[in-house]
Structure 1
Amino acid sequence: HLLKWEYQPQARSVSWLLTLQVQRQEVLDLLEENPSLRPYLPEAISKSYLRALQLALEETKLPRKTFPQTCPYSPEQILDSQFYPGEPSRLLEEED
């Protein structure tokens, strides 16, 4: 959803925003319950990026060259509830 958010801004929706919020909270809860997993986060992100890239390609129909070959977001950015790549959207401004 971060890839779609950044590379298909015209399609941003409340649904995408809520998905990002829920998924972030679920990962944070998991890390809180299992702090020993935190060192593995970069590796898990790297492994799952190819799957995320494939989903973004299928859903957006954008050319593969549109997206980075490796994950452009740090673990901190991925989990940061204030991080939304690309231009800020009206959805975020409306929530403030």
Structure 2
Amino acid sequence: MHMQIPLLGIAGMLIYPYLKETFSQFFEKWNYNGIQGILLFMIIVIYWLFPRTMDEALGVSHIEMFKFISWPFLAGVPLRDSWGKLSQLAKDIFL
């Protein structure tokens, strides 16, 4: 599980160029300064840090499906989209 989650996030980062080309207006309207995407990324990461959530992903099928949707599309894509839009101060605060 600890190897699978980062790979799902990287997969989302690799999908980003295709999604950016296809839905460019959505990304400009929704995440114009990068803060919204970083906030979504942090919420998803914090949610998956709970041990109970990770345990349920092994036994409950809809939680496992949410893992495969949330990491690439709600963590990887927003992180890659937001990082270039953030100011240096916001990057320093995030790190």
Please report the TM-score for the alignment, with normalisation by the length of structure 2.
Answer: 0.37
Please report the TM-score for the alignment, with normalisation by the length of structure 1.
Answer: 0.37
Of Structure 1 and Structure 2, the greater helix share is in 2
